Amino acid sequence: MKRGRPKGYSPYVEISYEDLADYVGRKTLIKVCKSWIEDLAEQAHSSSNLFSVTKESFVEDSHKEETKEEQPKIEYAITNFN
């Protein structure tokens, strides 16, 4: 009788963060693989990632600027009595 795990078996499954959020809240403690989270943290701090974050925030900022510019003008009149 064979014992142990069958070949190719993995105790992990892949699930998108969005789908996971259907089951757990933002503050739920989740056990994850140490090496996986370390890899992920490293990636996040790599320059390419920083560039993309900066680019995203730049796009966001310019969008905000556009929204500011779109504010309609207040109608007013100034009278000088002198």
Partner 1 sequence: MQLQTSINNYFPELIGQNAVKRKLSFYIDAFNKTGVCPFLLLTGAKGLGKTEFAKGFGKNLVNQDGTKRNFLEINCSTIKNNEQFFEQIFLPLISDNEITILFDECHALPKDLTMAFLTIFNTETRTRKTFEWNEMSFEFDFKKQTFIFATTESDQIFPPLKDRLTNVDFEPYSSEELGQILKVCAPEAVIDDDCLKEVSKSVRNNARNAVMRAKEISLYCGAKRKFVFSLKDFKDLCQQVSILPLGLTYTEKQILEALKHGSATLTGLAAKLGLSKTSIQKDHELYLLNKNLIEIDGKRKITAKGIDVCKELATQ
Residues that bind partner 1 (CB under 8 A): 68, 71-82
Q: Report the nearest approach of partner 1 to the CB of residue 70 (Å).
A: 10
Q: Report the nearest approach of partner 1 to the CB of residue 64 (Å).
A: 11
Residue closer to partner 1 (CB basis): 55 or 64: 64
In terms of Cα–Cα distance, which of 3, 4, 69, 12 is closest to 35? 12
Residue closer to partner 1 (CB basis): 1 or 78: 78
Q: Report the nearest approach of partner 1 to the CB of residue 57 (Å).
A: 19
In terms of Cα–Cα distance, which of 33, 55, 9 is closest to 41? 33
Do residues 23 and 17 make contact, with C-beta atoms less than 8 angstroms apart? no
Question: Residue 13 carries which side chain, given as an amino acid letter?
Answer: V
